[in-house]
């Protein structure tokens, strides 16, 4: 079978699996967040911590829960790393330095999972499983909670109530993420991923050399790392490491895990606002951009991979033999477009133009399909902008899902879409202007610039993948990128929840003949167009200096 | 003011307790349950798919190794060679070169590798496959392409006093096709292949 045919079959199988699963999973998630009943284990948790899961919260209260819970998470994870040398099962690893511990704590709590450390020689068993992996679950559950709160803003009327943050957090974790992770982890072990709490195993090879084999609870972390669109690898090589991703089947499973919740959430949205078609219009926009990028990157990696790759006969630098160009490209697009950032091949060595597409995937704001939760709320914000533009064209007050998009709503949406571009462009400019930026580049010329741009894009959009030649473990980058991750995660949430509150207070306006039909393909087209124009206007100059310059000169 | 400070502290206290409870659920119970199932059902895989020769562990079938002459950087012609590695196949330093696909250093490395692989195996440079001259992502890639194995057969057979046909068969035995027919790429496991060669040569 030719590699191209195999790639086509693989994408078809993936899309088929997602299409099959999105319905039951989307409906299930809607039921989880709408149900009035608490499971027994949940009641134990609420009683143990003294939280009332039935108290309705208005948006400031909901937001306060999100922010304070996350701040406590950062602090806890920071301290855990700082005392690592005193913890049991730490494999002899030292305490993490303050700037790196801050960076890592910010990274995992903000669902970014940028890693300036190297897992196999830095993090012991306890830090990995009780620290990093826990935030893989919780940061994902927080993202989903905020998305659900926004959906409730559309679904509810004449109230300011958005639900209860504690109950949304606990339900997302206990009913959705944990059960799916158990299943996925067991399948990964069956493929060959390791799962133990042993010591580093020193062995002697047939040539008489020594080799050290790493231990770890890898499969359990791998499952949630991808399912929660986190992306922080157990090892430095991330999902390229054979212990994390042993074969073609585990690879497809991991890609599926990246995509399954983000592509199912529009169904949850449709279900909760009472019109499945509205959900389909959203998922169609997400899917269209994703599939175009998959085709583009795969084609570019085969056909226009760059000077060194052409000399070698193919773009295999930084890729694993068992995956090849096709499965690596599919993974790369899926991870950059879901704000995950796990990698099964190193994006730094992708061709100039395909690297540019991966960058663009993040610059779109991580909404095609985006991270768990964040993808949906980001796309809904973009839908509000699209509705607003359409309203301007015909001179009508825009409305979306029966809610008026007035001055307050559009201001909040506009603030949302300004935050990450500001962080990315100001951050990149500052790093390039200061000596720190140039010192951190592995590569020269336009590609070196791309490394810096990629780092700030990845951190601010909470992706976490890197052009990993970039030497980011310096106090300057640990701090600035750490701040970008926190601001890029939590400032948008402020605007999303404020918007949700404002929508929930409105009374619904009846649909008339003049209402824009947001469930139709025309709207999906308008949405994709809006997305591309907004992103293009913002980032084209930066892209031209980096990947475009590199791709067009090679 | 006082009110908002107390209520913030109240939420922080609730947050800390809920974080600790969920740490027990997601950070203790979950990994232990998965470990229990994994160790029960897939003991060998969960512990790293280690391979033994004469009762001693000589590696993991998932982790590539260096096949250089001991203590040198010279590849040993007795063995099948793996792909270039950024860390000399050290599993405690995984990751790739990170060089861009147009980087002048990478161009130089590829050119040098092509020459070296061609001379080492006595084949023209045009027959050197892409995986032989490019560094893997993990630096511990356990596999090579069937094409790269193919150009090494003659050399390995001569060095081990075997026939090319015998070695050819061993290559086929240790080649994994695409998983379920269309996932990933075919790959030859270098460690398992070399063990098989050694066993046959010392028979």
pLDDT tens profile A49-72: 888 999 999 999 999 999 999 999
**Mind telling me how many Å the CA of A545 is from chain B's nearest CA?**
15
| A438 vs A367, more confident | A367
Q: Is residue B33 less than 8 Å (CB to CB) from chain A?
A: yes
Over residues B147-184, the pLDDT tens digits come to 999 999 999 999 999 999 999 999 999 999 999 999 99
Q: Is residue B89 less than 8 Å (CB to CB) from chain A?
A: yes
* A307 Cβ contact list (under 8 Å, min separation 6): A554, B101, B102, B107
The fraction of chain A above a pLDDT of 90, given in percent, is 92
Over residues A243-301, the pLDDT tens digits come to 999 999 999 999 999 999 999 999 999 999 999 999 999 999 999 999 999 999 999 99
Task: Name chain B contacts of A203, Cβ cutoff 8 Å.
Answer: 50, 57-59
| Contact yes or no for A194 and B46 at CB 8 A | yes
Instruction: Judge if B31 and B99 occupy the same domain.
Output: no
Q: Is residue A42 part of a domain?
A: no
Instruction: Judge if B36 and B82 occupy the same domain.
Output: no
Counted domains in chain A: 1
Say how far apart CA A201 and CA A435 lie, in whole Å: 41
Instruction: Judge if B55 and B37 occupy the same domain.
Output: no
Three-class SS of A171-204: HHHHHHHHHHHHHHHHHHHHHCCCCCCCCCEEEE
pLDDT confidence band for B203 (50 / 70 / 90): confident
pLDDT confidence band for B3 (50 / 70 / 90): confident
Q: Is residue A348 less than 8 Å (CB to CB) from chain B?
A: yes
pLDDT confidence band for A408 (50 / 70 / 90): very high
**Mind telling me how many Å the CA of A348 is from chain B's nearest CA?**
5
Say how far apart CA A437 and CA A430 lie, in whole Å: 8
**Average pLDDT in chain A:** 95
Instruction: Judge if B37 and B133 occupy the same domain.
Output: no
Instruction: Judge if B93 and B177 occupy the same domain.
Output: yes
A:B CB pairs within 8 Å: 381
- Angle, helices A248-273/A374-394, rounded to nearest 10 degrees: 50
pLDDT beyond 60 at B108: yes
Counted domains in chain B: 2
Instruction: Judge if B32 and B60 occupy the same domain.
Output: no
Angle at A217 between CA A215 and CA A220, to 5 degrees: 150
In this predicted complex, what is the ipTM? 0.97
**Mind telling me how many Å the CA of B39 is from chain A's nearest CA?**
8
Beta strands A210-213 and A403-404 are: unpaired
Helix (H, G, I), strand (E, B) or coil at B179: strand
Over residues A446-487, the pLDDT tens digits come to 999 999 999 999 999 999 999 988 888 899 999 999 999 999
Instruction: Judge if B55 and B123 occupy the same domain.
Output: yes
- Facing B184 at nearest CB: one of A129, A196, A323: A323
Q: For the residues of A383-427, what is the DSSP string, one character each?
A: HHHHHHHHHHHHT---EETTEE--HHHHHHHHHHHHHHHHHHHHH
Task: Name chain A contacts of B98, Cβ cutoff 8 Å.
Answer: 318, 346, 348-349, 442-443, 467-470
Cβ atoms of residues A544 and A453 within 8 Å: no
pLDDT beyond 80 at A86: yes
Instruction: Judge if B78 and B160 occupy the same domain.
Output: yes
- Facing A323 at nearest CB: one of B15, B31, B185: B185
Full domain range(s) for residue A392: 371-553
Is pTM beyond 0.95 here? yes
Q: Report pLDDT for A304.
A: 84
| Contact yes or no for B91 and A120 at CB 8 A | yes
Instruction: Judge if B28 and B102 occupy the same domain.
Output: no
Q: Report pLDDT for A437.
A: 83
Q: Is residue A224 part of a domain?
A: no
| Contact yes or no for A308 and B110 at CB 8 A | yes
Q: Is residue A7 part of a domain?
A: no
Over residues A182-240, the pLDDT tens digits come to 999 999 999 999 999 999 999 999 999 999 999 999 999 999 999 999 999 999 999 99
Q: Is residue A83 part of a domain?
A: no
Token pair belonging to A96: 């993490």
Instruction: Judge if B88 and B28 occupy the same domain.
Output: no
Q: Report pLDDT for B1.
A: 53
Full domain range(s) for residue B17: 2-43
Over residues B14-69, the pLDDT tens digits come to 999 999 999 999 999 999 999 999 999 999 999 999 999 999 999 999 999 999 99
Task: Name chain A contacts of B181, Cβ cutoff 8 Å.
Answer: 1
Instruction: Judge if B103 and B18 occupy the same domain.
Output: no
| B7 vs B109, more confident | B109
Q: Report pLDDT for A471.
A: 84
**Average pLDDT in chain B:** 96
Instruction: Judge if B74 and B25 occupy the same domain.
Output: no
C-alpha distances (whole Å) from A346 to each of A226, A458, B91, B136 are: 17, 14, 17, 9
C-alpha distances (whole Å) from A407 to each of A161, A390, A397 are: 21, 15, 10
| Contact yes or no for A65 and B15 at CB 8 A | yes
The fraction of chain A above a pLDDT of 70, given in percent, is 100
Q: Report pLDDT for A201.
A: 96
Over residues B114-138, the pLDDT tens digits come to 999 999 999 999 999 999 999 999 9
Q: Report pLDDT for B4.
A: 84
């Amino acid at each position: 079978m030719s590699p191209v045919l195999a790639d086509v079959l693989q994408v078809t199988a993936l899309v088929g699996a997602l299409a099959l699963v999105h319905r039951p999973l989307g409906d299930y998630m809607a039921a989880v967040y709408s149900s009035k009943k608490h499971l027994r284990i949940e009641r134990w948790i609420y009683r143990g911590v003294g939280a009332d899961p039935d108290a309705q919260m208005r948006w400031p209260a909901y937001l306060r829960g999100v922010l304070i819970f996350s701040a406590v998470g950062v602090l806890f994870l920071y301290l855990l790393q700082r005392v690592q040398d005193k913890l049991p099962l730490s494999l002899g690893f030292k305490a993490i330095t303050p700037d790196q511990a801050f960076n890592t704590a910010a990274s995992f709590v903000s669902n970014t999972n940028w890693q300036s450390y190297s897992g196999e020689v830095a993090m012991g068993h306890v830090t990995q499983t009780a620290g990093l992996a826990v935030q893989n679950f919780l940061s994902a559950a927080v993202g989903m909670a905020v998305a659900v709160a926004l959906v409730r803003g559309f679904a509810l009327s004449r109230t300011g109530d958005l639900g209860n943050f504690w109950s949304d957090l606990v339900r997302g974790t206990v009913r959705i993420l944990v059960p799916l992770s158990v299943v996925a982890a067991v399948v990964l072990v069956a493929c060959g991923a390791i799962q133990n709490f042993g010591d580093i195993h020193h062995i002697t090879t047939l040539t008489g050399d020594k080799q050290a084999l790493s231990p770890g609870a890898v499969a359990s972390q791998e499952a949630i790392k991808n399912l929660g669109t986190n992306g922080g690898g157990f090892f430095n090589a991330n999902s390229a490491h054979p212990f994390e991703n042993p074969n073609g089947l585990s690879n497809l499973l991991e890609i599926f895990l990246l995509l399954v919740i983000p592509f199912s959430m529009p169904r949850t949205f449709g279900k909760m606002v009472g019109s499945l078609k509205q959900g389909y219009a959203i998922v169609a926009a997400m899917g269209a951009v994703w599939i175009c990028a998959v085709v583009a990157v795969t084609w570019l990696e085969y056909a226009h991979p760059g000077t060194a790759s052409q000399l070698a006969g193919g773009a295999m630098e930084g890729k694993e033999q068992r995956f090849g160009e096709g499965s690596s490209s599919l993974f790369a697009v899926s991870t950059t477009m879901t704000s995950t950032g796990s990698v099964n091949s190193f994006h730094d060595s992708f061709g100039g133009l395909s690297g540019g597409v991966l960058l663009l995937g993040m610059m779109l704001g991580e909404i095609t399909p985006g991270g768990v939760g964040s993808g949906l709320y980001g796309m809904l914000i973009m839908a509000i902008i699209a509705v607003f533009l359409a309203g301007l064209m015909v001179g009508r007050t825009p409305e979306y899902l029966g809610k008026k998009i007035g001055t307050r709503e559009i201001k909040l949406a506009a603030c949302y879409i300004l935050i990450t571009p500001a962080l990315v462009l100001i951050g990149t400019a500052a790093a390039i202007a200061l000596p720190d930026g140039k010192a951190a580049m592995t590569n020269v010329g336009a590609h070196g610039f791309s490394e810096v741009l990629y780092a700030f894009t990845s951190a601010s959009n909470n992706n976490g993948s890197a052009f990993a030649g970039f030497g980011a473990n310096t106090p300057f980058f640990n701090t600035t990128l750490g701040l970008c991750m926190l601001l890029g995660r939590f400032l948008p949430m402020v605007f999303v929840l404020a918007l949700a509150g404002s929508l929930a207070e409105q009374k619904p306006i009846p649909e008339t003949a003049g209402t824009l039909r947001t469930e139709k393909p025309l709207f999906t087209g308008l949405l994709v167009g809006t997305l591309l124009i907004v992103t293009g206007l913002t980032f084209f100059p930066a892209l031209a200096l980096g990947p475009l310059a590199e791709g067009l000169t090679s | 003011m006082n009110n908002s400070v107390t209520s913030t502290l109240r939420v922080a206290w609730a947050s800390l307790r809920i974080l600790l409870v969920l740490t027990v659920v997601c950070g203790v119970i979950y990994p232990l349950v998965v470990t229990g199932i994994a160790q029960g059902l897939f003991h060998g895989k969960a512990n790293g798919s280690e391979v033994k020769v004469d009762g001693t562990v000589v590696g993991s079938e998932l982790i590539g190794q260096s096949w250089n002459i001991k203590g040198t950087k010279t590849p040993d012609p007795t063995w099948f060679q793996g792909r270039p590695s950024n860390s000399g196949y050290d599993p405690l330093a995984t990751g790739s070169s990170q060089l861009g696909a147009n980087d002048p250093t990478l161009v130089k490395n590829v050119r040098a590798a092509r020459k070296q692989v061609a001379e080492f195996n006595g084949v023209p440079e045009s027959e050197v496959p892409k995986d032989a001259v490019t560094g893997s992502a993990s630096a511990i890639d356990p596999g090579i392409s069937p094409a790269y194995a193919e150009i090494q057969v003659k050399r390995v057979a001569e060095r081990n006093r075997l026939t090319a046909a015998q070695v050819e068969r061993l290559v086929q035995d240790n080649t994994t096709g695409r998983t379920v027919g269309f996932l990933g790429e075919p790959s030859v496991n270098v460690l398992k292949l070399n063990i098989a060669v050694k066993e046959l040569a010392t028979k």
